[in-house]
Amino acid sequence: MGFDRLWRGGRLATMAPDRAGLGLIEDGAVATRDGRIAWIGAVADLPRDVTADEVIELDGRLVTPGLIDCHTHLVFAGDRADEFEMRLRGETYETIAAAGGGILSTVRNTRAASQDQLVATALERLDRLMAEGVTAIEVKSGYGLNLDSELKMLRAARALGELRKVEVVTSLLAAHTVPPEYRDDRAAYVALIVDAILPAAVREGLADSVDAFCETSAFSPAEVRRVFEAARAHGLPVRLHADQRTAGGGAGLAAEFGALSADHLERTDAAGAAAMAAAGCVAVLLPGAFYALRDETAPPITLFREAGVRMAVATDCNPGSSPLTSILTALNLSVILFGLTVEEALLGVTREAARALGRFDRLGSLEVGKACDLAIWDATRPVELAYWLGRNPLRSRVFRGEMV
């Protein structure tokens, strides 16, 4: 039996759903052929006739699937450090936004930036995430808010996937907030999304899914519904920023449309959690935004557990509410601030994150046939990935079977 590469002698956290917990295989081996996992199991069970072009000894190290950051706003121009200082002095995210700052301040910078500038600044952030073992990342638009700039953002996101060994999944988030030129005619902006921006993104193959921000300061459930109906007509899956700052029935709305995920969810109630469970909608938890906004209402983890809602964890990397470029820090925050178990948190950046992206058929667990994307750690116990703050135990990253 011949493989391109074989890793042996490690603790494999497979995240396979047919195994308990993290699906650990002690003294395990994993082999790749043509970028996929061709064999995985205990070293003792390796076929006798096994050969590989390269054999790597793991010396007991922990191996996980490559990590997946399933919710980011990685592409943007400028920063909002000045607004951070205003918040430190007592202003709120909402008062800053109402005065024309917030998302709209990043919109001004992003509209003024070239695609190349957007790519260059996003790459710096992407490299930090990849250095922590990230092999797949979701990237949203939402700071363009017109046809040209939304497409420019999505093209920049696609370019990231060509420039780096990482899988990029895009979401069209034109429904992030109403741009100033449509302030007095919101319906016309929703119509622009539905009639122009979304169809153009689909034509160019730029959007893998459609997202929206359902919030009193952004879009109402009725407005989100129009955007989601258009997405459905184009055959695109949806996901939703839901119940973050105010309880707006966002979780139920996401479930009603069979959304891949509903995200944030600080103010989701039991009915919302039940609807999500029934729809198989993943709860994407974003502790970076909760932390940076000094929110005091954590998402209802107990309700999600009781209802059987799957939970993912992501950075929400963005210049306003979550200037976080570390998936390992997101792990730490999720166990400290939200009370996830280490197991839940690790499944949340692998298997459940893959589900939130609709890509669990290819990513998110170590199983034969899946992409051979691995994170190999200078650690032996899974808890070490959530334990350190600011220490990165990654030893190597494998993308499609290649050491990178």
Residues of this chain that bind Fe ion (CB under 5 A): 316
Closer to ligand NIG by CB, 16 or 330: give it.
330
CB of 45 to Fe ion, least distance (A): 43
Residue with smaller CB distance to Fe ion, 245 or 359: 245
* CA gap 58, 85 in Å, rounded: 46
Residue 214 CB, shortest distance to ligand NIG, in Å, is: 10
CB nearer to Fe ion: give 29 or 317. 317
Shortest CB 263 distance to ligand NIG, Å: 7
Other beta carbons within 10 Å of 62: 23
Six-digit token pair at 162? Answer: 């060509």
Backbone phi and psi for residue 365, each to the nearest 5 degrees, phi listed first? -150, 160
In 3D, which of 358, 120, 131, 382 has the Cα closest to residue 258? 358
Compute the distance between CA of residue 4 and CA of residue 27 in angstroms, rounded to an integer: 20
The DSSP result for 276-300, as a single string, is HHHHT-EEEE-HHHHHHTT------
> How do strand 67-69 and strand 134-140 relate by DSSP bridges?
parallel
CB of 46 to Fe ion, least distance (A): 44
CB of 403 to ligand NIG, least distance (A): 33
Distance from C-alpha of 294 to C-alpha of 284, rounded to nearest angstrom? 19
**Run of H or E including 231:** helix 221-233
287 interacts with, out of ligand NIG, Fe ion, none, CB within 5 to 8 A per kind:
none
Q: Give the residue with the Cβ less far from Fe ion, 87 or 370.
A: 87
Residue 177 contact partner, candidates Fe ion, ligand NIG, none, CB within 5 to 8 A by sort of partner: none
Least distance to Fe ion, CB of residue 71, Å = 6
- Nearest to Fe ion of 167, 316 (CB atom): 316
Q: Which residue is nearest to Fe ion (CB)?
A: 316
Of 257, 300, 299, 248, the residue nearest 278 (C-alpha): 257
Shorter beta-carbon distance to ligand NIG: residue 216 or 380: 216
Residue 75 or 376: the one with the smaller Cβ distance to ligand NIG is 75
Q: Which does residue 272 bind out of ligand NIG, Fe ion, none, counting CB within 5 to 8 angstroms by kind?
A: none
Query: What number of CA atoms fall less than 13 Å from residue 371's CA on the CB side?
Result: 25
Tokens of 347: 């499944």
**274 or 292, CB closer to Fe ion?**
292
Contact residues for ligand NIG (CB under 6 A)?
Answer: 73, 102-103, 106, 213, 241, 244, 289, 316, 318-322
Nearer to ligand NIG, 103 or 394 (CB): 103
Minimum CB separation from ligand NIG for residue 105, in Å? Answer: 8
Residue 319: contacted member of ligand NIG, Fe ion, none (CB under 5 to 8 Å, by partner type): ligand NIG
Number of H helices, E strands in the chain: 16, 16
E strand or H helix that includes residue 397: strand 394-399
Q: Rounded distance, CA 396 to CA 373, Å?
A: 11
The token pair at 105 is 């301040």
Whole-number minimum distance, CB 106 to ligand NIG, in Å? 5
- Alpha carbons within 13 A on the beta-carbon side of 341: 7
Minimal distance, residue 162 CB to ligand NIG, in Å: 25
Cα–Cα distance, 277 to 306 (Å, whole number) = 10
Which partner in Fe ion, ligand NIG, none is near 322 (CB below 5 to 8 A by kind)?
Answer: ligand NIG
From the list ligand NIG, Fe ion, none, pick the one residue 300 interacts with, judged by a Cβ distance below 5 to 8 Å according to partner type.
none
Q: Which does 106 bind (CB under 5 to 8 A by kind): Fe ion, ligand NIG, none?
A: ligand NIG
- Give the residue closest to ligand NIG by C-beta: 320
Report the chain's C-alpha Rg in angstroms: 21
Answer yes or no: are the C-beta atoms of 346 and 13 closer than 8 Å. yes
